[in-house]
Amino acid sequence: MAKAQTTSLRSYALTRLGLVLPMVLILLTMVFVLMRVAPGDPISAALGGHLSAEQLAERRHAAGYDRPLVVQYLSYLGDAVRLDFGNSVTDNRPVTSIITQNGAATLELTLAALLVALVFGVTLGLVAGRLRDTPVDVAARLAGVLSYAAPVFFVGLLLQLLFGPMLGLLPTSGRASPGVTFALPTRTGLMVVDSLLAGDTYALSDVLRHLVLPAVTLGLLTGGVFLRLVRVNLLQTLRGDYVEAARARGIGERSVVVRHAFKNALVPVITVMGLQVALLLGGALLTEQTFNWPGIGAQLVHYLNNRDYIAVQGIITFFALVVVAISVLIDFVNAWIDPRVRYT
Amino acid sequence: MSTIVTGSGDAATRGTLAPARPGRFTLARRWLAPIRTAQRLPRWTLYAGAGLVVLFVLLALLAPLIAPYDFDQFSSHGVRFPKQGHPGAEHWFGTDVRSTDVFSRVVYGSRTALEVVLSAVVFSLLLGVPLGLLSGYSGGKLDRLLVLIMDALFAFPYLLLAIVIAFLLSDRLGSGVVTAALAITVVYVPQYFRVVRNSVISVREEPYVEAARALGARPATVMSRYVFHNVVQSVPVLATLNAADAILTLAALGFLGYGIQPTVAAEWGYDLQRALADAGAGIWWTGLYPGLAIVLLVLGLTLVGESLNDVLNPLLRRRRLEKVQLPPRPGAADAAAPSPGPPPDAGPGGRGEP
């Protein structure tokens, strides 16, 4: 029995990995086509008007944009696989360093937001499901709908108004005060971790104070999804036979709910977390714009405005790879937790 | 399936077993029956949502009558409006940094939002539904290819996709309603495709489709007459929910500067972006009102979509329990007499919880 299971987990993993290749290929092709549909080649789009025609042609040749499209496509695929995205046209910065430096800011924001989302969403979801059809449930569901209906940047704006000028409690822009940014040695790029490593409590409190509003803003968006999901799952779980059986054995209602139902109601959250990546990345982009957070989404907007297609292409390719990687990861975790997944 | 349940529920609420009275409104009544028989909460949320949506539709249609000024008007009778003026009698919602009237922009903004969202939903229906039908019905290599492409589109962060498309299209089509609508369309086509394709696949093997095929109906006939009607039932709910989502995407595009340009039309997302700079100075009215407009319209559409789902989806639907009034028995005086009428519990099944 145990042997059969391990085999099936491995074969599931292999099948799933087999599906990754076409997915990556299609995503990369999509990015390439999108960026080449844009009028003009990347060099003249970014630098046209700044350089003479000969200089432009020279730059085009150096970057290989006078080659046939098929060749460009294949070399793009090769570069993408080697995670080499070239240098940005406008400020000649390696796209990889944009990704690692600004990506760290986005990662920090996203992780903090996930934490907020889990605390807010799961707690309210469990409470609402437990107290179904009571005013608490109605209020929690309303909170769930509202957190979806309110755009991230509107929530961010309201929080800025409230905590910035009105209460004067929290900073509303950037990752840290200029002095802290300057003094803090960069090790992981995650400023919370860096300030912990440096043992700098002043920097830590400064960084955390900057993190609160963006994380709450983004966390509320995702938390609403968790809330609805956990609530519905708990309702379904509470109807399950084994819950009934636990009740029949005379176990107290509190214990039935906490020890038997909660755990199983939470499993699907993992699946949905995988689907949330797209929402989270989009939300992160908007949050970064709202709070001047120097993340990768803000960089994307910056380079898009400067018509730097190389940088844009690199960043989008990176996003595509992240999405695929996370969805595979989530599927593995799911298959590991829930054996039924493997047999489908 | 749903019509049968509906019909019997309708009869049950009136407490008789007579078939629905034929008349002019039979069809409308049959369609509305699930709403009448729904439980109180979904019915209320449906009405509340519909009320909000109707409010914004009226605002959009009557914008020139309701709004005191034009959406890009910054002076009246040669007098320039105050810059970032407080809300007051002259300007109910105040004025923004370009001295335009916030209330007028909010009102005209509902017009833009509905125009874009309506076209985006229509575009994605026109693309997604036929593609889903084709893919699900034909199967094979075409199906596999389309599924891969749509899955890739679906997996991609939707906002990035919309931004890039809007950016690329704006060079050719300008930054107007069409560009925004097309950018949003690309995001939602995969959803219609998936829903329609999956239900086609389950319907395809039903006996009545087999029968039609066995009778020699051509694929086009089978698709349009037998498959289509059984598949599109899930589309209205999805379209309503997508419309809500599209409002948010449009606002996000506007907020990032890839939406509709301020000279073309009033757009809430753009206004919020401008309001961000005001927030630091404590100017709340430029951001609050456009934001509230977004929230209320999205809320309305979401409530309509979700309660439609609760009401129409036979798997989720819970009818409210009603007292069944039994038809008077002929021999009611002496209870011992066996009644020739229908047994008292003959209310058709399907009432109460499914």
Measured in angstroms, the CA of B190 and the nearest CA of chain A are apart by 14
pLDDT band at A81 (very low <50, low <70, confident <90, very high): confident
CA distance A33 to chain B (A): 11
ipTM of the complex: 0.84
Q: Residue B164: pLDDT band by 50, 70, 90 thresholds?
A: confident
> Is any Cβ of chain A less than 8 angstroms from the Cβ of B187?
no
If one compares B91 and B267, the residue with the highest pLDDT of the two is: B267
Neighbours of A14 (CB within 10 A): 9
Separation of CA A186 from chain center: 22
Q: Closest-CA residue in chain B for A28?
A: B152
Chain B interface mutation, best of A153, A220, A276, highest count of B Cβ atoms under 10 Å: A153
∠ CA A44-A48-A49, rounded to 5°: 170
d(CA A117, CA A218): 8
Q: How far is A96 from chain B (nearest CA, A)?
A: 19
Q: Inspect the interface and report whether the beta carbons of B165 and A327 lie closer than 8 Å.
A: no
Helix (H) or strand (E) holding A152: helix A152-161
**Contact between B279 and B287 (Cβ < 8 Å):** yes
Q: How confident is the model over A283-325, as pLDDT tens digits? A: 899 999 999 999 998 899 888 888 888 888 888 888 888 888 8
**Is the backbone of residue B195 left (phi > 0), alpha (psi -120 to 50) or beta?**
alpha
Name the most confidently modeled range: A293-302, B76-85, B162-171: A293-302
What average pLDDT does the structure give for chain B?
78
- Residues from chain A that touch B298, judged by Cβ atoms under 8 A, are 148-150
What local confidence, expressed as pLDDT, does residue B181 receive?
A: 92
Domains of chain A and any CATH numbers: 1-90+309-344 (no CATH), 101-305 (1.10.3720.10)
Alpha carbon distance A16, B196 (integer Å): 25
Task: Give the per-residue pLDDT at B21.
Answer: 52
Query: In the predicted model, what is the mean pLDDT of chain A?
Result: 83
* Backbone dihedral angles phi then psi of residue A47, each to the nearest 5 degrees: -110, -5
Mean pLDDT of B139-167: 85
Confidence band for B2, pLDDT divided at 50, 70 and 90: very low
Q: Say which amino acid occupies A325.
A: A
- B38 by DSSP, 3-state: which? strand
Among A141, A154, A173, A330, most B C-beta atoms within 10 A, so best to mutate, is A154
Would you state the torsion angle of the CA atoms of residues A64, A68, A71, A77, taken in this order, to the nearest 10 degrees? Answer: 80
State the Cα angle at A34 between A32 and A40, rounded to 5°.
Answer: 95
Residue A137 has pLDDT above 50, yes or no: yes
What does the pLDDT look like over B275-328, one tens digit per residue? 888 877 778 888 899 999 999 999 999 888 888 877 776 555 555 666 677 777
Mutate to test the interface with B, among A19, A161, A220, A327 (most CBs of B within 10 A): A161
Residue B314, chain A, CB below 8 Å: the answer is no
Mean pLDDT of B54-71: 88
Q: And the tokens for A87? A: 């240098």
Which pair of structure tokens corresponds to residue A53?
């025609």
pLDDT in tens, A202-216: 888 888 999 999 999
Q: Which residue, A57, A333, A307, is CA-closest to B164? A: A307
Q: Which two tokens stand for residue B206?
A: 């039903």
User: Could you give the CA distance from residue B171 to residue A6 in angstroms, rounded to a whole number?
Assistant: 55
Compute the residue count for chain A: 344
CA distance B155 to B188: 12
Closest Cβ opposite residue B164 in set A34, A150, A286: A34
pTM equals 0.82
Per-residue pLDDT, averaged over A8-24, amounts to: 80
Instruction: Kindly list the residues from chain B whose CB atom is less than 8 angstroms away from the CB atom of residue A157.
Output: 272, 275-276, 279, 287, 291
Is B255 in contact with A286 (Cβ distance < 8 A)?
A: yes
Tell me the two tokens of residue B215.
């009778």
CA gap A183, B74 in Å, rounded = 47
Inspect the interface and report whether the beta carbons of B156 and A323 lie closer than 8 Å: yes
Strand segments (E) across chain B: 75-76, 79-80
Burial class (CB in 10 A: 0-12, 13-18, 19+), B294: buried
What pLDDT does B295 receive? 94
Per-residue model confidence (pLDDT) at position A214: 94
Taking contacts as CB-CB distances below 8 angstroms, the residues of chain A near B167 are: 304
Q: Which residue ranges form the domains of chain B, and what is each CATH number?
A: 62-318 (1.10.3720.10)
Contact state of A160 with B153 under an 8 Å Cβ cutoff: no
The single residue listed with the structure tokens 């749903």 is B2
| Closest residue by Cα to residue A44 from A68, A29, A30, A61 | A61
Interchain contact, B294 vs A151, CB within 8 Å: yes
Residue B63: partners with Cβ closer than 8 Å, 6 or more residues away: B107, B108, B110, B111
Task: Give the pLDDT confidence score for residue B31 in this predicted structure.
Answer: 64
Give first-to-last CA distance, chain A, whole Å. Answer: 18
The more confident residue out of A85 and A271 is A85
Contact B148 A301 (CB under 8 A): no
Task: Give the H/E segment covering residue A77.
Answer: helix A69-81
> Higher confidence at residue B222 or residue A42?
B222
Averaged pLDDT for residues B259-263: 82
Comparing alpha-carbon positions, the chain B residue that sits nearest to A322 is: B156
